[in-house]
Amino acid sequence: MSFKDVANSRLLWISVAAALVVVVILTLYYLRVCWKKALEMGVDKEKLKAVVKSSVLFSIVPSVAVVAGLITLVVVIGLPYGWFRLSVIGSVSYELMSANMALTALNLDVEKADAYAFSLMAWSMCMGMTIPLIFNLVYNKKIHVGTMKLGKGDKKWSIVAQNTFMLALVCALVVPLIFAGAIDLLTFFTSAAIAVGLTLLARRFKLKWLHDFVLVISLVGAMASSVLWEKIF
């Protein structure tokens, strides 16, 4: 079987749809449980409705960025699995990095990938996200309590620990781009420049609504610039 036969197979579509239905059912179940619990605790019903409305509106704008990321991911892994990854747990940068690592291990690219390559790409995405979930179940509470104790003793160390973690995360995502080639690096810098420019613009003219669109505009701008850099180089 070819890569496209597996990536767009009926079985994969059915499996993805079934998994997403389960996620929706669980979400509605916990919404119902939390709603009842809030009413029992004396929270006003109108306040609950306002919270739900604001949460829905707040979720719509970030979802635009997810859709833009899905367009990028579809080219690499196909629509059903890309849809599944970004709907349940995952991020565009991580998914693309995992897929690229799998293809590199096989000495293939997207155009030459076969069914075996698809399975390896899918497993690399899945396993990479599953391990942190298991780790969090076991160690997340201990890490959180340790961080809280560190912050109580000396708040400076708490800030240093958090900044170190974020810096390590950024390095893990950015460093591979440095060695990926000129086009990838220029696309990254273009995206960063757009994000910084929009953030400064929003602060300068106090455009709070613009903050919600920084990610999606940066993604679209980066994708458009990648076409330009591809033609130039």
**Contact call for residues 12 and 6 (beta carbons, < 8 A):** yes
Taking alpha carbons only, the member of 110, 72, 111 closest to residue 91 is 72
In whole angstroms, give the CA distance from residue 146 to residue 158.
10
Pairwise CA distance, residues 102 & 117, whole Å? 7
Write down the pLDDT at residue 61.
62
- Interacting residues of 33 by C-beta distance below 8 A, sequence separation 6+: none
Q: Where are the domains of the chain?
A: 3-138
Average pLDDT of span 176-185: 80
Closest alpha carbon to 187 in 220, 219, 225? 225
Using pLDDT thresholds of 50, 70 and 90, give the confidence band for residue 36.
very high
Backbone angles phi, psi at 2, to 5 degrees: -85, 170
Percent of the chain predicted with pLDDT > 70 = 94
Q: What is the pTM of this model?
A: 0.63
The burial of 41, by beta-carbon neighbours within 10 Å (0-12 exposed, 13-18 middle, 19 or more buried), is given as exposed
Distance between CA 150 and CA 152 in Å, rounded?
5
What does the block give as tokens for 58? 């707040």
User: Lowest mean pLDDT: which of 85-94, 145-154, 168-177, 214-223?
Assistant: 145-154
DSSP SS3 for 8:
coil
Instruction: Taking each helix axis as running N to C, give the angle between helix 45-77 and helix 214-232, from 0 to 180 degrees, rounded to the nearest 10.
Output: 10
Q: What is the dihedral of CA 96, 97, 99, 100, to 10 degrees?
A: 110
> Per residue in 72-94, pLDDT tens?
788 888 899 988 888 887 777 77
* Other residues' Cβ atoms within 10 Å of the Cβ of residue 155: 10
> Across all residues in the chain, what is the average pLDDT?
84
Q: Using one digit for the tens of pLDDT, what is the confidence trace for 202-223?
A: 999 988 878 777 877 887 888 7
Shortest CA distance to 76 belongs to which of 106, 100, 104? Answer: 100
The band of 21, judged by pLDDT with boundaries at 50, 70 and 90, is very high
pLDDT at 68 over 80: no
Paired with 2 in beta bridges are: 114
Q: Which residue has the higher pLDDT, 139 or 25?
A: 25
Q: Tell whether the model's pLDDT for residue 153 goes beyond 70.
A: no
pLDDT score of 10 more than 90: yes
Q: What pLDDT sits at residue 55?
A: 75
pLDDT band (50, 70, 90) for residue 233: confident
Q: How many CB atoms lie within 10 A of CB 2?
A: 10
Q: How far is CA 129 from the centre of its chain?
A: 11
